[in-house]
Amino acid sequence: MANQKEDRPATATYADHEIIRPVNKLSKAVSRVSVAMPGEDPVARAEEALAQLSSEFGKWMMDECERLDAARRQVKTEGFTKKNFDELFHSAHDIKGDAATFGYPLCAPAADSLCRVLEHSPDPSRIPVKLIDQHVDAIRAMVRENARPDAREIANVLTKRLRAVTDDFLSRENMHRPEVLAVIKAPPTAPDAA
């Protein structure tokens, strides 16, 4: 059983007021950790761990592309159910977030563009399947052709075209929603692959 005195807040009473200091139970849950060796850098340790895993990044990115393609196929087969919509969005969003870490930064803007289509379409059933196909195929091609010497140039042209088609579609779909139009016309959130 805990010491009852430690469980009570400290109280200081004065003529015109009282100060109550609650028990800080959090301090018991926190432990102090010291760096094992002087000069050891936790960021350097994290980068070293990433370097050790880097041989897996290509496979992981291919797995993410397969997940994206499977989500697209589900949408084509069943339409936009909540589950299919969520899987397609989360798959594109994960690629957008993982692309740079996995060594495929050229994919992030295309994945961001697909996320924008899904996020800002007032009626997902009106999203042209061809627009989804263009995004998914572009992302997969960028991953597959990542090592090409001209990959950056091709990805930039492709991404700009996807962005233009996406903006055009979203602008037409959101004509009645000026607050959404302002968001659509904002600059991309994913860094330019240039």
Contact 134, 160 (CB under 8 A): no
CATH number at residue 68: 1.20.120
Write down the pTM of the prediction: 0.71
**How far apart, in whole angstroms, are the C-alpha atoms of residue 142 and residue 58?**
12
In a domain, 38, yes or no: no
Cα torsion 107, 94, 73, 162 to 10°: value is -30
Q: What is the pLDDT of residue 54?
A: 67
**How far apart, in whole angstroms, are the C-alpha atoms of residue 194 and residue 189?**
14
pLDDT per residue as tens digits for the range 130-160: 999 999 999 999 999 988 899 999 999 999 9
**Nearest Cα to Cα of residue 118 among 109, 127, 108, 110:** 127
In a domain, 22, yes or no: no
In a domain, 69, yes or no: yes
Tokens in use for 188?
A: 């991309």
Work out the angle at residue 166's Cα, subtended by the Cα atoms of residues 162 and 171, and round it to the nearest 5 degrees.
Answer: 155
Domain count, the chain: 1
pLDDT per residue as tens digits for the range 66-79: 999 999 999 999 99
pLDDT per residue as tens digits for the range 23-51: 777 666 666 666 555 667 777 777 777 66
Containing structural domain, residue 146:
59-184
In a domain, 10, yes or no: no
In a domain, 40, yes or no: no
pLDDT per residue as tens digits for the range 122-134: 999 999 999 999 9
What number is the average pLDDT over the span 109-115? 95
